[in-house]
C-alpha cells in the first residue's frame, strides 16, 4: 500500500458531492470580499499616513476650508424634515451638492443640518434665507465654521454650590476650652407652656 499513489480526483468525483460546487462558489465570493476589504484598508491606511505628512495635512485642511466656504449651517430644522425637503427649500439659492441632517446614535434627527453648494455665491445667497420657515419652524441659517484640529474650546469646571471649598486647613484663632466644635449652650428659663 505504501507505493500506491491515490489520485484524489478519481477517488472523489464531483458528481458524488452535490454541495461541492456550491462551496467552491461561496469560497470564491469570500476571497473576493476579503481582497476588497484589504484594498479598502490599504486606502484608509495610506490616507491616515498622508495626514501625518505636514504638507498633505495642509492641503487637506485647505480643501476642507474651501468646502466649508460653500456650506451653510441650518439650525432649528424640524425633526420630521427630510434632506430632500431641505434641498428643495435651498434650491432657489443655487445648485445643492449635499444636504447632511445630523442624527444621534439612535438615528433620530438632532434638529440641525448642513447644506453644501457647488458655488460659494450660492452659500452667500442662502444666508438671506435666515429666519425663513420650513415645516412651520423658523430656520436659523449661518455660515458653516471650519473646525481647527486640536483647538477644543476650553470649558472651566462649574462650581457646585453644595460642595464646600477645599483649601488648606486653617487653625482656629483661639482654642476653645470646651473642645473642638463645642460651644457652651446658654439655657434661658422659659415659662411652662403645655401646648407648645
State how far the Cα of 173 lies from the Cα of 180, in Å rounded to an integer: 12
Beta bridge partners of residue 71, listed in sequence order: 116
Residues 6+ positions from 108 with CB-CB distance below 8 Å: 79
Residue 122: CA count within 13 A, CB half-sphere: 20
Cα-Cα-Cα-Cα torsion 155, 157, 158, 163, nearest 10 degrees, comes to 180
Q: Whole-model pTM above 0.75? A: no
What are the cell numbers at 168? 488648606
More confident residue, 158 or 23: 23
What are the cell numbers at 118? 457647488
Q: pLDDT for 48-105, tens place per residue?
A: 665 566 777 777 778 888 889 999 999 999 999 999 999 999 999 999 999 999 999 9
State how far the Cα of 97 lies from the Cα of 70, in Å rounded to an integer: 10
CA-wise closest residue to 90 among 123, 120, 66, 68: 123
DSSP secondary structure letter of residue 153: P
Amino acid at each position: 500500500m505504501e507505493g500506491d499513489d491515490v489520485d484524489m480526483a478519481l477517488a472523489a468525483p464531483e458528481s458524488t458531492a452535490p454541495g461541492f460546487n456550491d462551496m467552491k462558489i461561496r469560497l470564491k465570493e469570500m476571497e473576493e470580499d476579503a481582497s476588497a476589504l484589504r484594498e479598502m484598508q490599504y486606502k484608509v491606511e495610506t490616507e491616515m499616513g498622508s495626514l501625518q505628512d505636514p504638507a498633505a495635512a495642509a492641503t487637506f485642511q485647505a480643501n476642507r476650508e474651501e468646502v466649508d466656504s460653500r456650506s451653510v449651517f441650518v439650525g432649528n430644522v424640524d425633526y420630521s424634515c427630510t434632506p430632500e425637503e431641505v434641498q428643495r427649500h435651498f434650491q432657489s439659492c443655487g445648485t445643492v451638492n449635499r444636504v447632511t441632517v445630523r442624527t444621534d446614535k439612535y438615528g433620530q434627527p438632532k434638529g440641525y443640518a448642513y447644506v453644501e453648494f457647488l458655488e460659494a455665491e450660492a452659500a452667500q445667497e442662502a444666508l438671506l434665507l435666515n429666519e425663513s420657515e420650513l415645516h412651520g419652524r423658523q430656520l436659523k441659517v449661518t455660515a458653516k465654521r471650519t473646525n481647527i484640529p486640536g483647538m477644543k474650546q476650553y470649558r472651566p469646571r462649574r462650581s457646585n454650590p453644595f460642595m464646600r471649598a477645599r483649601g488648606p486647613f486653617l487653625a482656629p484663632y483661639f482654642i476653645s476650652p470646651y473642645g473642638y466644635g463645642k460651644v457652651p449652650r446658654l439655657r434661658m428659663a422659659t415659662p411652662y407652656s403645655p401646648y407648645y
